[in-house]
Amino acid sequence: MVDIIGSKDLESGHIKDTQAESLRGYSIHVVPQSFGSTIGSPTALAIGAFATTLTTLSCALMGFRGLSNTDVFVANFNFVAGIGMVISAQWELVRGNSYGYTVLSAFGLFYAGFGALDIPFLGITAAYGNDTVQYNNAVGFFVLSMFPRTINREIAKLTEKVWSVFNIFFLIGSFPINVVYIGIFFFVQLAFTLVSASYFCAADGNAATAAALKKVAGAFAFIAGMFGYYTVGHLMCQEALFFDFPMGDTSRFFKRKLNDQRPVPQHHEKECRA
């Protein structure tokens, strides 16, 4: 925007150029402020929900205190991750962050759907009765094989491969952000892969190897959860204490190609005449 300065005749005691007169011949360009830039960031809540749900789940994968049943985590799946991440994702979309919207929506909706399977009121599990084959096949098509459910070998292969591919795109998209985000998706990817391998071993009758692989997968999931908590600490300190944690910015290594390569027009000021 061109600054407009009206010339004043101080000796005669009045202003010779009014504001309206000084505006003549000028092209005023008003740049509206983006609504997304005026609202707070929902990222801390979403990442915190992700980290909390994944960390508690990793404890089940590692078999802490003999834990193997995840039904008690319905509250995390449906409310902490399901509602928290999905709501946060919508605000990421308002802020113009398509990547954040996709990631948070994908994990949030999955967690909510998985948790719904264990709600007796919905009667999803009861509808299958004693037909465990049909139930396990249906669950296999719906959920990730990383969760401690017993599903047949072919469904485990299909499900784990599909979601592993989905997570690879999230991992690639994190490259131009920072090292911490890369770490989150990298260790999640390792967890998916090792859990898939554990099911292959279980299907082949290698129960001991399968259990060991699942524990290692749980360890990688736990590390991913710790990266998530680190991110929450960074965002909270940045907002409340005016300092942040090192995140390892990688954006300087990835130059985004501009969609519009046309030169920006030059605006020349006109002289103000009395």
Q: Alpha-carbon distance 219 to 144, whole Å?
A: 17
* 157 against 123, higher pLDDT: 123
pLDDT at 64 exceeding the cut of 80: yes
Q: 12-23 pLDDT, tens per residue? A: 444 444 555 454
Strand partners, 178: 249
pTM: 0.70
Per DSSP, 3 falls in state: -
CA dihedral 58, 63, 67, 73 (to 10 degrees): 10
CB hemisphere CA count around 260 (13 angstroms): 4
Range 228-236 average pLDDT: 95
Q: What is the pLDDT of residue 103?
A: 92
Q: What is the pLDDT of residue 16?
A: 47
Q: 125-138 pLDDT, tens per residue? A: 777 777 655 655 55
pLDDT at 95 exceeding the cut of 60: yes
Q: 246-266 pLDDT, tens per residue? A: 999 999 888 765 454 444 444
Phi-psi region of 107 (alpha: psi -120 to 50; beta: other; left: phi over 0): alpha
Residue reference for tokens 């759907």 = 113
Measuring CA to CA, which residue among 172, 213, 210 is closest to residue 190?
213
